[in-house]
Amino acid sequence: MRELTERQQEIFDYIVSYSRSEGNIPTVREIGEAFGFASTNAVTTHLKALVKKGYINLKPGMARNIEIAPDFLIPERGVPLVGRVAAGTPIDAIENLDGYLDLDAFYEPGQHFALKIVGDSMIEAGFWDGDYAIIRKQSQVETGEIGVAVIDGQATVKRFRWLADGSLLLVPENEKYEPFIVRPEFDFHIAGKAVGMLRVLR
């Protein structure tokens, strides 16, 4: 990749910063205004240099015709928010990416994910409806720990208690609900252990 001049780097950084903050690409005119260029021709010259050096592409016929080259797209920061998890009866696990929670200072990306709590069966453990449970990816959860079990494709968060016959007792933290036994022959797996919680005050 060819090195940029100081002004080319400034313009490229502006394009990237603008796209992250505004969710769109700046127009040629907006770039000119940001850098105080007297005409759009000066901007176009710099953009063509960025194209030649492989940093951007230009799409003809569009007002916002700049496209950042794939190698320079900055990934979203934070813990991926991948769906919801039931704190009552199990619900269908949702795997679609809903966005990011920027919690990198506390949880290592790639090793954790966040799930939105639905229901009230874990309120005595501090998990309320609408909270986000931070889950560390792991295939084993010990007795007494809170984990996420996926049963027949449906996810639920409960306190785990392993029984002598290999069954798993999923224990709610709300006296309104009864524990649920997961037999070894059931189609289930462990998605991870709850290690944190985020609550958004409304």
Catalytic residue numbers, as ranges: 121, 158
Q: How far apart are CA 146 and CA 161, in angstroms?
A: 9
- For the chain, the three-class secondary structure string (H helix, E strand, C coil) is CCCCCHHHHHHHHHHHHHHHHHCCCCCHHHHHHHHCCCCHHHHHHHHHHHHHCCCEEECCCCCCCEEECHHHCCCCCCEEEEEEEECCCCEECCCCCCEEECCCCCCCECCEEEEEEECCCCHHHCCCCCCEEEEEECCCCCCCCEEEEEECCEEEEEEEEECCCCCEEEECCCCCCCCEEECCCCCEEEEEEEEEEECCCC
Question: In sequence order, which residues have a C-beta less than 8 Å from that of residue 74 and are 6 or more positions away?
Answer: 16, 20
